Amino acid sequence: MTYALITGASKGIGKAIAEELASRRIHLLLVARDAALLQELSQTLHQQYQIEANFLALDLATPNAVQELNNWIETHHYRIHILVNNAGYGLSGPFTDYTIDEHKAMMQVNMTVPVELTATLLPQLKANQPSYVLNIVSSAAYQSVPGLTTYAASKSFMLSFSRGLRYELRNKGVSVTAVSPGSTDTGFAARAKVGTKGLKAAEKVNMTPKAVAAIAVKAMFAKKAEVITGFINQLGAFLVWLFPKKLAEKTAAGIYELD
């Protein structure tokens, strides 16, 4: 029996990806901090789709998180053929509003953990072919975003990491896909403490987590390199590429109320 491991599966896009994979009868390993939400989701998906769904409540911002996660995998002899690096969060507002420890914790969850987890699980993924790594990135990866500076940089890192690793693994039976959602109707923006202007802008273009998950899983199984969800977000990335960077940065700064 092989499993899909999903980080950040308790809510939002990660939960929707769990539901999408369960509907395809794929067994699941779910990771996030909120044990109650994970337990409820595991039970529901097990009953609804007759799949195995196990969970580990873990704070991925703690120093030995990946080691702890790997101990759990090894103890239970879980075999993994899909890794979904989805857990992530943003810190909005001026860079200087946060301590370096707050920035580092976010960088760990958004970048270090996905890299470390990929490295840890690659031998398994190579052994359990065909296998897949799905990285949930962001439309923020395509430009600098004043007001979400460290977050956007962490997502640019993940986009570049995904593409480089995908090329290196092209003949190894492991496909790597980066999916970049734009604004999605989860609690993400509120948790990132995005101001009212930003929340209003997001509301106008929000996609549902279910729609994002469907696109992401389809892209992963189609072995796509890079997908931006939705036409508006694709257009946004194209305009960012077309126009001077300064213009995109000024627009973003306006949305995140930095002017």
Ligand X SMILES: NC(=O)c1ccc[n+]([C@@H]2O[C@H](COP(=O)([O-])OP(=O)(O)OC[C@H]3O[C@@H](n4cnc5c(N)ncnc54)[C@H](OP(=O)(O)O)[C@@H]3O)[C@@H](O)[C@H]2O)c1
In the list 3, 8, 111, 145, the residue contacting ligand X (rule: CB under 6 A) is: 8
Query: Which tokens go with 50?
Result: 């007759």
Kindly tell me which of 128 and 239 has the beta carbon lying closer to ligand X.
239
Phi, psi of 73 (to 5 degrees): -65, -45
**How many Å apart are CA 40 and CA 173, to the nearest integer?**
34
Number of residues that bind ligand X (CB under 6 A): 29
Is 183 a binding residue for ligand X by CB under 6 A? The answer is yes
Helix (H, G, I), strand (E, B) or coil at 26: coil
Stretch that binds ligand X, among 55-63, 117-125, 213-221, 246-254 (CB under 6 A): 55-63
**How many Å apart are CA 118 and CA 163, to the nearest integer?**
14
Stretch that binds ligand X, among 2-10, 124-132, 163-171, 241-249 (CB under 6 A): 2-10
In the list 32, 45, 165, 194, the residue contacting ligand X (rule: CB under 6 A) is: 32
Quick check: 202 and 183 in contact, CB under 8 A?
Answer: yes
**How many Å apart are CA 17 and CA 212, to the nearest integer?**
8
Q: Cα 13 to chain center, whole Å? A: 8
Q: From the CB of residue 91, how many other CB atoms can be counted at a distance below 10 Å?
A: 19
Active site residue 151: yes
Is 61 a binding residue for ligand X by CB under 6 A? The answer is yes
Is 118 a binding residue for ligand X by CB under 6 A? The answer is no
**How many Å apart are CA 100 and CA 251, to the nearest integer?**
26
Is 159 a binding residue for ligand X by CB under 6 A? The answer is no
In the list 42, 86, 131, 149, the residue contacting ligand X (rule: CB under 6 A) is: 86
In the list 69, 109, 159, 169, the residue contacting ligand X (rule: CB under 6 A) is: 109
Is 149 a binding residue for ligand X by CB under 6 A? The answer is no
Is 162 a binding residue for ligand X by CB under 6 A? The answer is no
Tell me the catalytic residues.
151
